[in-house]
């Protein structure tokens, strides 16, 4: 299974494989026609309340990951889509945040790795 994370603002390339946007909100300044994504799974993103509570605060990172993992327990269909694509080819989880270490895509990757 080969899953990675990447900012949507970085240039896309063939090595990204299947590109999935995992943010609830569409990234500012990116045209949908130029985003080069294969799928937008906005329902797998953290709830608005969890996203606002976390606010990319590294001190809240551990708790955010726990709460996010609980939130997506009923999103098994979306999780299966990512894992199924990952069995066939490389998958890149795309996010818009400037924070590259503490964001929902990294948390989602950590959750997915426990399911492999």
Q: Kindly report, residue by residue over 68-87, the tens digit of the pLDDT.
A: 999 999 999 999 999 999 99
Q: Contact at 8 Å (CB) between 17 and 63?
A: no
In this predicted structure, what is the pLDDT of residue 1? 76
pLDDT tens digits along 2-24 = 999 999 999 999 999 999 999 99
Show the beta-strand stretches assigned E in 12-109: 18-21, 39-40, 91-95
Contacts of 50 (CB under 8 A, 6+ apart): 64, 67, 68, 71
pLDDT tens digits along 23-55 = 999 999 999 988 999 999 999 999 999 999 999
In this predicted structure, what is the pLDDT of residue 56? 92
């Amino acid at each position: 299974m080969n899953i990675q994370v990447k900012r949507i603002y970085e240039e896309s390339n063939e090595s990204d494989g299947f590109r999935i946007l995992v943010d609830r909100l569409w990234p500012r300044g990116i045209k949908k026609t130029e985003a080069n994504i294969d799928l937008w799974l906005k329902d797998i993103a953290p709830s608005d309340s969890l996203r606002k509570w976390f606010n990319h605060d590294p001190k809240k990172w551990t708790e955010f990951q726990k709460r996010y993992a609980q939130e997506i327990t009923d999103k098994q269909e979306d999780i299966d889509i990512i894992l199924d694509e990952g069995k066939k080819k490389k998958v890149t989880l795309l996010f818009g945040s400037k924070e590259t270490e503490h964001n929902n895509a990294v948390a989602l990757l950590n959750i997915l790795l426990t399911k492999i």
